[in-house]
């Protein structure tokens, strides 16, 4: 089982990196992702796994890709952001039709939104003023400032079915939509300078995404001028072809898992897409991805053979550990520490919001926050003897990464790796590595599909090392039901 998961995860990562390497000097076309889609199509359920849970990811990727290529041959760089925000709304809409009791719970939850002005006004004020510092407004964990955290506070006040609560929270954590708490408030307050009106508009959008997810998602896309294809056409195709998959899963897979497994389709048009093509037109950035892939390939199987990986979940934790150490080693080699980078981006954040208090998007710091977490974890792991099994041959033998004179005056070439990593700071997904993590997660959920994967653990936030009082506002310190 574990070898099978490692093979599927590495295969996906490899197809993505190869596609970027092959097409990075071309304009992005959806067909560039075909080999990745084929790798997902080859994924098979093993004995002891739920095929119903497994197909929620596998079929979603296939249905998503076929819907896209039937509508367009490409997508604009800006609009690529929306590609992985359409599956959770679709799945919620299907579930409302299949399970009226769940829809009733969502209606009750939406009613509670109107009774939570104390929570929402406080959180809106904090977001406007940057109270939480660098954070992730859309995170799988209930960290301060996240939409998930705010939804969990509302959920605590409702008396609806606990599993329905978890499904709603899952749709706002692992699951993805274009709704992020605070954006509508910022936009409205900038326009009208009326706190109460801005809060009401924020609540209206939150309730709308809960009650009419597909309609609301399409409207948000249209507000941003989405033109690559008609969102309504995509939703019609995706929901028609994905509904049977949800019907198969509804009796044996936890609702919280049903709403989040389909959304992980971002490799199409997002990872294999414009942004990574442009980033990797610089050879050192492409080499960073190649070396990273080689490190995963050589060390994951070694970790399994040495007993470091003992479960499917361990595949994720080990892959992310290797990646975190890799990033930290690159920085450490040039004299940087994790705390230096955390301080840099924290100082930038407070200066930035003074310049763009209302023009910014609440989700701006999401990937920066992830990047800081990666390198902070890498620094911790560098002192962990359990990580001594890792072989760094791929890094040590890389001519590109070890020849800074290719990128700077030879006697002053001491910041080239840092400079290359900064190009990934706004989009570190493949260095996470997200494809490996997602495929491991899918396989893990398929082993216990009835157990919800709503996040309940501490992330060890990097920014909390600089601002420890941030932890006072974390849900995990407040005995919330999750």
Contact 173, 140 (CB under 8 A): yes
pLDDT band at 455 (very low <50, low <70, confident <90, very high): confident
Which percentage of the chain shows pLDDT scores above 70? 99
Per-residue pLDDT, 479: 55
Contact 344, 425 (CB under 8 A): no
Contact 439, 2 (CB under 8 A): no
Per-residue pLDDT, 385: 87
Contact 21, 226 (CB under 8 A): no
Mean local confidence (pLDDT), 348-355: 95
Reported as type and span, the H/E element at residue 151 is helix 147-155
Per-residue pLDDT, 137: 93
pLDDT band at 475 (very low <50, low <70, confident <90, very high): confident
Q: Residues near 448 by Cβ (< 8 Å), separated by ≥ 6?
A: none
pLDDT tens-digit readout, 102-161: 999 999 999 999 999 999 999 999 998 999 999 999 988 899 999 999 999 999 999 999
pLDDT band at 172 (very low <50, low <70, confident <90, very high): very high
Per-residue pLDDT, 116: 98
C-alpha–C-alpha distance, residues 321 and 315, integer Å: 10
Contact 109, 450 (CB under 8 A): no
Under DSSP, the state recorded for 178 is: S
C-alpha–C-alpha distance, residues 277 and 423, integer Å: 12
Q: Mean pLDDT in the chain?
A: 96
pLDDT tens-digit readout, 180-227: 999 999 999 999 999 999 999 999 999 999 999 999 999 999 999 999
34 has a pLDDT exceeding 80: yes
Burial of 392 (0-12, 13-18, 19+ CB in 10 A): middle
DSSP 244-258: HHHHHHTTTS-HHHH
pLDDT band at 454 (very low <50, low <70, confident <90, very high): confident
Q: Residues near 407 by Cβ (< 8 Å), separated by ≥ 6?
A: 284, 413, 416, 419
Per-residue pLDDT, 177: 95
A 10 A CB-CB count for 304 gives 18
C-alpha–C-alpha distance, residues 39 and 18, integer Å: 13
Per-residue pLDDT, 471: 92
**What's the token pair of residue 417?**
């790796």
Q: What are phi and psi of 268, to 5 degrees?
A: -90, 105
- Whether omega before 305 lies within 30 degrees of 0, making that bond cis, reads no
339 has a pLDDT exceeding 60: yes
pLDDT tens-digit readout, 259-292: 999 999 999 999 999 999 999 999 999 999 999 9
Per-residue pLDDT, 476: 75
Contact 289, 323 (CB under 8 A): no
A 10 A CB-CB count for 283 gives 14
Q: Pick from 68, 69, 73, 62: which is nearest to 39 by CA?
A: 62
Per-residue pLDDT, 77: 98
C-alpha–C-alpha distance, residues 411 and 113, integer Å: 60
Helix (DSSP H) and strand (DSSP E) numbers for the chain:
21, 0
Per-residue pLDDT, 477: 67
481 has a pLDDT exceeding 60: no
Burial of 468 (0-12, 13-18, 19+ CB in 10 A): exposed
453 has a pLDDT exceeding 90: no
For residue 272, list its beta bridge partners.
268
C-alpha–C-alpha distance, residues 314 and 440, integer Å: 9
C-alpha–C-alpha distance, residues 238 and 65, integer Å: 9
């Amino acid at each position: 089982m574990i070898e099978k998961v490692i093979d599927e995860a590495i295969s996906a990562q490899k197809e993505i990196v190869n596609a970027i390497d092959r097409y990075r000097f071309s304009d992005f076309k959806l067909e560039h992702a075909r080999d990745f889609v084929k790798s997902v199509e080859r994924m098979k359920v093993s004995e002891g796994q739920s095929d119903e849970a497994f197909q929620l990811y596998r079929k979603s990727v296939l249905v998503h890709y076929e819907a896209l290529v039937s509508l367009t041959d490409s997508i604009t760089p800006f609009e690529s952001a929306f590609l992985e925000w359409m599956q959770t709304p679709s799945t919620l809409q299907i579930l409302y039709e299949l399970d009226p009791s769940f829809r009733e719970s969502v209606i009750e939850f939406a009613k509670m939104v109107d009774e939570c002005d104390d929570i929402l006004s406080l959180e809106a004020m904090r977001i406007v003023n940057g109270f939480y510092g660098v954070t992730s407004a859309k995170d799988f964990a209930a960290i301060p400032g996240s939409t998930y955290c705010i939804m969990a506070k509302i959920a605590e006040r409702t008396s609806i079915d606990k599993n329905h609560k978890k499904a709603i929270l899952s749709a706002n954590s692992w699951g993805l939509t274009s709704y992020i708490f605070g954006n509508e408030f910022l936009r409205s307050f900038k326009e009208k300078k009326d706190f109460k009106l801005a809060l009401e508009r924020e609540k209206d959008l939150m309730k709308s995404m809960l009650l009419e997810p597909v309609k609301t998602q399409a409207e948000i896309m249209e507000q941003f001028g989405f033109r690559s294809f008609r969102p309504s056409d995509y939703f019609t195709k995706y929901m028609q072809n994905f509904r049977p998959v949800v019907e198969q899963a509804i009796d044996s897979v936890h609702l919280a898992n049903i709403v989040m497994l389909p959304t992980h389709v971002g490799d199409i048009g997002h990872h294999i897409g414009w942004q990574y093509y442009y980033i990797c037109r610089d050879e050192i950035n492409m080499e960073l991805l190649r070396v990273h892939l080689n490190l995963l390939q050589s060390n994951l199987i070694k970790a399994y053979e040495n007993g470091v990986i003992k479960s499917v979940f361990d595949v994720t934790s080990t892959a992310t550990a290797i990646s975190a150490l890799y990033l930290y080693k690159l920085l450490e080699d040039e004299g940087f520490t994790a705390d230096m980078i955390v301080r840099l981006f924290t100082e930038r954040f407070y200066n930035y919001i003074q310049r763009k208090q209302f023009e910014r998007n609440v989700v701006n710091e999401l990937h920066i926050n992830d990047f800081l977490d990666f390198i902070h974890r890498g620094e911790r792991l560098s002192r962990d003897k359990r990580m001594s099994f890792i072989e760094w041959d791929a890094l040590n033998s890389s001519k590109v990464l070890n020849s800074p004179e290719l990128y700077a005056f030879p006697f002053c070439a001491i910041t080239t790796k840092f400079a290359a990593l900064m190009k990934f700071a706004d989009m570190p997904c493949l260095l996470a590595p997200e494809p490996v993590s997602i495929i491991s997660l899918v396989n893990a959920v398929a082993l216990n599909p009835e157990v919800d994967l709503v996040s309940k653990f501490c992330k060890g936030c990097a920014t909390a090392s600089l601002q420890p009082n941030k932890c006072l506002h974390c849900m995990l310190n407040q005995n919330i039901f999750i």
